[in-house]
Structure 1
């Protein structure tokens, strides 16, 4: 009788056997721990629990097969006559230590990632790999990094000890297994890895109605590499389509508001007409990091987190039903500046060929405005400098080194050491960002040219650190970071009111996305609600606007208040002119594309499928309903057309 273990793990592969057992056991423990952590959001079912564990083991085994196929190359190719010599021992111990260290780090990192996103590793983790400074500093400031590394090293040494007790090292060295003996086990792992690569997709783990269970059924490492391969998704390949001409026509008609005129049959170029004398005040746009609507007292929060912002909202045109398009800062930037529905995969901010686009900046350019992007960190992060710089904006940021400061050929200003009183992994604190903005605005004012400044804050982000003593709260929690962000904004406005340009300046405040996006459903609708306001508008009374709208609509609405007439290639509309039947919001993550009208929501998925739901605002739940043909066609039309126009360069300025 053939012993399967002996067949798959000959003596030369003894260390691989030890690692395999360790990997599968630890993977299962991580899954079980995350399950217990999230039990309140799951609702326990013994049947579903068994399925989660079973599917999870399946994907863990697939992950292991990839590791064995790659790691096993050395064990397969190394000649038997050199087994146990000094080079073999050195390579064996070094590679095993490195492999175990990496995976212990990855397993521990899953808990941090789950706490932040309630997901297995996804495209966010892939993106973060490109920005090691920010990520490592963030970890260092959020957790005791030396202690964390020490724990990882100890756990790695523990794995070494277990392997040694099992005599895995001795068995690896003391044998005469040749290529023929090794070909069957190594070939097996290569075959399994090949099957997974060709036929198994990460999304096949998603068989549950509860999103937490779908995530827990996956393997973190497998999900990471699946996200790497799917960072950009071809709409035509993965999503429901309809004739492109039909989609474009639906979008063209939906974008035309009173007085507008379509100028092209190939895209959405049109003239926007507004009556009255054009006004050209300065515009300061403040994009608040992770500010959910429910942090404000205006939306029911009783913790007094944002007293200044709440007071400002009472004096502004305050939008109480505005939705973020996505769950990341670069999605917010894309929505605000490009005013486009979120296309699947990574944000356009990070994609190739994203230069000379028809952004909000082009409309401002038509009206004679200077345009500047302010960021307290290094704008190289997430390609922010590349996106803004290649679309007509000057840059003010805080590069980490001199080479970064010189890498982008645009009008770029950087923080001096004296201008930074406090910074963390993400850059200068909000107070320093505002102080720098005030200095630059005073310089801009001297040019007698209207200015548009996009200020991106960052304090309301882990590690939630800020200058001690600025507020009573201690740094380190989201609550304290929100209070500090509100305090810093109040100080900015106090100083701005003393400046000669203040009276002729409109302030727009909008969040980039909510603080939390996790939930049980495909898209957690309640986690896209963000505050938005326009303050200091000339000849406009304070008012609340409860129309359903998106981030993409806020600046086009401001242009309407200013009576601007202009040519446009953006999807954003003037909220003031929206009729009840026109109100809509785009909400998405990198795979699910949602379109909401009233409480009816259509969600497109990457398997060319769709679901229609009724959203209950009271308990933030989605109930599956019958498909609404017209709403489905409108959903497809917007997302398909947005993808096609970008792909075909129809969103470029010159087209």
Structure 2
């Protein structure tokens, strides 16, 4: 054996080196397996291969420093007289069993996370750590978790056995506290330098997003995402002078039916005036979990997994060019209820100080409606219950159902048909006294893709295709049962996705992965037809209110698409840190470190790099910067008006 290595094995610091080697080895194996899994979508080239290999190794080593910190602290502080006791070697075996178990478990978890999101751990993983009941339940219902844990334990035992000689060699070392302090001080300086200087940006070189993902380290990315749980727009993104940004937004929000109520340059409050009598129909808004447009036959699907929605589309007003604002349910709920562009970091649904905001329920409640949010799971998840209860909605969730009313449930909630039975009951109880606005959020189209047997021809727990078809069945059953109610002829049904089933692609923001369907069905009141103009999810609320011919005071950032002059259409798409702005077949992406990129959107929804359009970039910045400013400064709060006269406030 190399004399240097033999000497290192006899010292305490040798255990840090051993742990680092194990971490790097497991990380490299994980990276190779993920590369194989994503083989078809990764652009393999000399530059990309070198990035994945060497930048990936750099992040593995950085993570090794972070991960070794608890063991380094222990090895520094444990006295020599205890360290050399015969029984202490079993403590060291325990350390390595626990640490190697975490590393192997993390590798398996990365594989499962990639299977769902096609990325390393990120902001979503941080969110999921908060809701351990749902996440652990989802994993146990989706995978043979018992066998996985047995396999992990077996692998860890074998690995600890393999490194026993190295651990034994270190167990008898004699290092004075002064020497240990010197080594720990060096370790601490390296730790601090890495903490201050290294960020995730160093592996964001390739145009291929998956190459960038594979160049990172999953455990490091989890740590980085936790540190960046909130992203302040002004600090991380390219901006404009605040008044200039708001001026641009005020200009872009002005439409023929809207009049600003204030000359305050930071106010977007407008009076929306629609001529003629208001149509106070009941409104049932169904936001469907992960319903990508590509699942529907109307958008080219040939699998027949949405037979009811395909049939209903023939009798509905169908919006064919609509894009979700984000990739999470809370982002979709934010867009549907608040009609604001996505702000970086957390969805507003999950942020502090999100009470008493101007929402879709604010408008309906002012018109004398009873507004409800009806959810098939427990509404504490993702802070949904708190958000909706404090923004004008009555809350109804899983706890409102008795055990005898539930045919089936999994960790996310009851089967969609039971959710819709609950919704019918709640609407019936209110509709005789007030018109009703009910926002219903489904859950069945979510891993583990389980649902009651005998409903459709795809067995439960087999694929997303089955979950989509079961949700389609449940919506069909709900509409048919609602059609027997006295209130049906005076009701507008709005069916839309919260987000797509997958947001993974070769680019940062693959446009086609945000394309969602929207059907508005009210056979007695709204003629069937097609709207093919570009729309954002935040435009649904204003467009719906326009169809009802409502006049109201608005702080929405969305448009009534029927009142908007042609050529002014735009859409917003985002992840938790990349903010996309679509207009005129061009896509602007705003990213942290004030990065701006411009792309041309091709006919097949792919993107090609394009020279920057300064005016388009200014528009993109103004929308996102102003939305962040408005929430941060309380401008999104609902306001009370005693008249429609101009008022500075």
In the alignment, is residue 326 of structure 1 matched against residue 326 of structure 2? yes
Q: Aligned partners of 1:393 and 1:418: how far apart in 2?
A: 27
Compute the displacement of 1:537 (Å): 6.0
Compute the displacement of 1:46 (Å): 3.0
Unaligned runs of at least 5 residues, structure 2: 640-648
Q: Aligned partners of 1:373 and 1:97: how far apart in 2?
A: 47
Partner of 1:129: 129
Q: Aligned partners of 2:6 and 2:353: how far apart in 1?
A: 54
Change (3 A) 1:578 1:538: farther
CA contact (8 A) 2:375 2:440 kept: yes
Q: Aligned partners of 1:310 and 1:187: how far apart in 2?
A: 66
Taking structure 2 as the reference length, the TM-score comes to 0.95
Partner SS, residue 613 of structure 1:
strand
CA contact (8 A) 2:8 2:14 kept: no
Partner of 2:511: 525
Partner SS, residue 283 of structure 2:
strand
Partner of 2:561: 575
| Equivalent of 2:455 in 470, 476, 481 | 470
Q: How do 1:505-520 and structure 2 match up within 5 A?
A: 505-520=491-506
Partner of 2:430: 444
Instruction: Select between 189-198 and 312-321 the one with higher mean Cα deviation.
Output: 189-198
Partner of 1:612: 598
Compute the displacement of 1:173 (Å): 2.4
| Equivalent of 1:632 in 617, 627, 645 | 617
CA contact (8 A) 1:261 1:272 kept: yes
Q: Aligned partners of 1:4 and 1:634: how far apart in 2?
A: 61
Partner of 1:405: none
Compute the displacement of 1:205 (Å): 1.1
Cα deviation code 1:258-311 (max 9, x no counterpart): 131101223111100101101111111100000000111101111111111011
Q: Aligned partners of 2:579 and 2:174: how far apart in 1?
A: 57
CA contact (8 A) 1:548 1:598 kept: no
Partner of 1:642: 627
In the alignment, is residue 263 of structure 1 matched against residue 261 of structure 2? yes
Q: How do 1:561-600 and structure 2 match up within 5 A?
A: 561-600=547-586
Q: Aligned partners of 1:371 and 1:323: how far apart in 2?
A: 25
Partner of 1:410: none
Partner of 2:644: none
Partner of 2:213: 215
Compute the displacement of 1:8 (Å): 6.3
CA contact (8 A) 1:62 1:192 kept: no
Q: Aligned partners of 1:258 and 1:157: how far apart in 2?
A: 71
Q: Aligned partners of 2:5 and 2:505: how far apart in 1?
A: 42
Cα deviation code 1:124-173 (max 9, x no counterpart): 00000011111111111110111111111112212211122xx1332232
Compute the displacement of 1:361 (Å): 1.1
Q: Aligned partners of 1:234 and 1:347: how far apart in 2?
A: 13
Q: Aligned partners of 1:341 and 1:7: how far apart in 2?
A: 60
Q: How do 1:378-457 and structure 2 match up within 5 A?
A: 378-399=378-399, 414-446=400-432, 448-457=433-442
CA contact (8 A) 2:380 2:386 kept: yes
Q: In the comparison of the two structures, how many residue pairs are matched?
A: 636
Partner of 1:162: 162
Compute the displacement of 1:6 (Å): 6.4
Instruction: Select between 235-244 and 154-163 the one with higher mean Cα deviation.
Output: 154-163
Q: How do 1:205-244 and structure 2 match up within 5 A?
A: 205-244=203-242
CA contact (8 A) 2:19 2:68 kept: no
Partner of 1:534: 520
Partner of 1:500: 486
Compute the displacement of 1:50 (Å): 2.1
CA contact (8 A) 1:251 1:641 kept: yes
Instruction: Select between 423-432 and 92-101 the one with higher mean Cα deviation.
Output: 92-101
CA contact (8 A) 1:526 1:617 kept: no
Cα deviation code 1:378-405 (max 9, x no counterpart): 1111100011011121111125xxxxxx
Q: Aligned partners of 1:253 and 1:307: how far apart in 2?
A: 43
Partner SS, residue 483 of structure 1:
helix
| Equivalent of 2:197 in 195, 199, 222 | 199
Compute the displacement of 1:42 (Å): 1.4
Partner SS, residue 582 of structure 1:
coil
Name the Cα RMSD after superposition: 1.6
In the alignment, is residue 559 of structure 1 matched against residue 545 of structure 2? yes
Cα deviation code 1:513-538 (max 9, x no counterpart): 01111111121011110000111065
Change (3 A) 1:593 1:4: farther
CA contact (8 A) 1:63 1:222 kept: yes
Q: Aligned partners of 2:223 and 2:514: how far apart in 1?
A: 27
Compute the displacement of 1:75 (Å): 0.9
Unaligned runs of at least 5 residues, structure 1: 400-413
| Equivalent of 1:181 in 175, 179, 182 | 179
Partner of 1:411: none
Compute the displacement of 1:590 (Å): 0.8
Moved over 6 A (4+): none
Taking structure 1 as the reference length, the TM-score comes to 0.94
Q: How do 1:324-403 and structure 2 match up within 5 A?
A: 324-399=324-399
CA contact (8 A) 2:9 2:169 kept: no
Q: Aligned partners of 2:611 and 2:474: how far apart in 1?
A: 48
Compute the displacement of 1:416 (Å): 1.4
CA contact (8 A) 1:10 1:182 kept: no
Change (3 A) 1:273 1:10: farther
Instruction: Select between 257-266 and 537-546 the one with higher mean Cα deviation.
Output: 537-546
